[in-house]
Amino acid sequence: MPLIPKSLLAPREKVGIFISYRRADTAGHAGRLVDQLKSRFSDQVFFDVDSIRPGANFREVIEETFTNCGAVIVLIGKRWLERDAGMPRFGDDQDVITQEIRLAMASKLPILPVLVDGASMPGESQLPPSLASLSSLNAIDLRHTSFDRDLRAVDDHLVEILGGAKETMIEKFALKLYGPFLGNSLAKIQGGIVLFSAMGALWALGELVGAAFISWSSGLETLLSPSIIDAETTRLQAVWTAAFGALIFAFFGRRSIRWWRHATIILWISLAEISLAAALAAFYVIEVPDARIMDLFDNKKIAVSRFYRP
């Protein structure tokens, strides 16, 4: 039996978010909502205007899209049930909204109703029998006057539905501070961010193992030996540099719905590497006569250590 279940390390596959809306009812709010959600979930947000090419079979595209989705948002405005003359009525097999909701239910996807600008959730009697269960779902309000606050509630519910990481207070503060400057860039490269954090953690681990081995075999003075990658840097310097880099990348990588578990593991590994490197540095200062912690950052000391022979 493996120490770590495969389900824990396997990236989550169904992380797409489908937005169902009626253009004559909530098109403006839908576009604004999608723009905001893409800053968090990147291209995992499916919006028909952007996602369906001209001439494509609508039903086939929706069915294929749902195979990659983990949640469906249904925007409900005050005119959601209304239809223009000559258009299929709500509940008709030809009605687009009806098709989307039925396919979502058939796919057993979580549905999150979002009530726009004071709209009410339709009662069971207002819905066709096949969609009546929609009226019992808990809905979220999305109002123009409190859009940002309501959007955070939508965001939190989606993260919970999709199995993402819950943000800590530190993460919320950092993202509030730096989020406006980063825009959509983080969301678009989340996989790369986690990969870079893994590379940093592996580099730090290699340097740490090397530092521990040579200090055990040849004495703590050899901690001043150069890094395996940069001859102008000590091994412990390299550990701290790589581990801190991995820590920062993993911190932001936790926003990835697909990769957040990997980022969290890397984050804890990086913290452990920083702590172990600090412990080695403390032993160096305690055990080596006239040693100072700044020796580990002195290029002249590194040069001397190259000619050191135990």
Percent of the chain scored above 90 by pLDDT? 24
Q: Are residues 111 and 209 in the same domain?
A: no
pLDDT higher than 90, residue 156: no
Q: Are residues 211 and 289 in the same domain?
A: yes
Provide the domain count of the chain.
2
Would you say residue 182 lies in a domain?
no
Distance CA 156, CA 164 (A): 9
What are 37-72's pLDDT values in tens digits?
887 787 788 887 556 677 777 778 888 888 888 899
**For position 23, what pLDDT does the model report?**
86
Q: Are residues 156 and 45 in the same domain?
A: yes
Q: Are residues 151 and 213 in the same domain?
A: no
**For position 275, what pLDDT does the model report?**
94
Would you say residue 180 lies in a domain?
no
- Per the listing, tokens 């909502």 go with 33
**Could you tell me the pTM of the whole model?**
0.71
Asked if residue 190 lies in contact with residue 253, where contact means CB atoms within 8 angstroms, the answer is yes
Domain end call among 163, 178, 212: 163
Q: Are residues 153 and 267 in the same domain?
A: no
How far from chain centre, in Å, is Cα 301?
42
Distance CA 226, CA 165 (A): 38
Q: Are residues 56 and 145 in the same domain?
A: yes
Q: Are residues 89 and 207 in the same domain?
A: no
Asked if residue 253 lies in contact with residue 266, where contact means CB atoms within 8 angstroms, the answer is yes
Would you say residue 175 lies in a domain?
no
**For position 242, what pLDDT does the model report?**
94
Q: Are residues 12 and 159 in the same domain?
A: yes
More confident residue, 297 or 121: 121
- The helix (run of H) or strand (run of E) holding residue 264 is helix 260-287
Residue 229 corresponds to which amino acid?
I
Domain end call among 126, 146, 163: 163
**For position 225, what pLDDT does the model report?**
80
pLDDT higher than 50, residue 77: yes
**For position 64, what pLDDT does the model report?**
84
Q: Are residues 37 and 140 in the same domain?
A: yes
Domain containing 109 — which CATH number? 3.40.50.10140
What are 226-245's pLDDT values in tens digits?
888 877 788 888 899 999 99
Q: Are residues 155 and 196 in the same domain?
A: no
What's the token pair of residue 294? 């700044």
Question: Please, what's the b/e burial string for 24-38 (b: 16 or more CB within 10 A of its CB; e: otherwise)?
Answer: ebbeebbeebbebbb
More confident residue, 75 or 169: 75
Q: Which of 35, 50, 51, 40 is nearest to 15 (CA)?
A: 40
The dihedrals phi and psi of 151, each to the nearest 5 degrees, come to -65, -40
Q: Are residues 226 and 301 in the same domain?
A: yes
pLDDT higher than 60, residue 10: no
Helices (H) and strands (E) counted in the chain, each on its own, are 12, 5
**Would you say the C-alpha torsion 196, 238, 218, 305 has a positive or negative sign?**
positive
Would you say residue 202 lies in a domain?
yes
**For position 203, what pLDDT does the model report?**
94
Domain housing 81: 6-163
Would you say residue 172 lies in a domain?
no
**For position 185, what pLDDT does the model report?**
57
- The helix (run of H) or strand (run of E) holding residue 73 is strand 69-76
Would you say residue 168 lies in a domain?
no
Would you say residue 1 lies in a domain?
no
More confident residue, 221 or 124: 124
**For position 174, what pLDDT does the model report?**
65
* Sheet (strand 111-116) strand order: 45-46, 16-20, 69-76, 111-116, 140-142
Q: Are residues 253 and 114 in the same domain?
A: no
More confident residue, 198 or 161: 198
pLDDT confidence of 204, banded at 50, 70, 90? very high
How far from chain centre, in Å, is Cα 78?
33
**For position 44, what pLDDT does the model report?**
80
pLDDT higher than 70, residue 8: no
More confident residue, 54 or 82: 82
**Angle, alpha carbons 243-245-251 (nearest 5°):** 100
Would you say residue 183 lies in a domain?
no
pLDDT higher than 50, residue 301: yes
The overall average pLDDT reported for the chain is 81
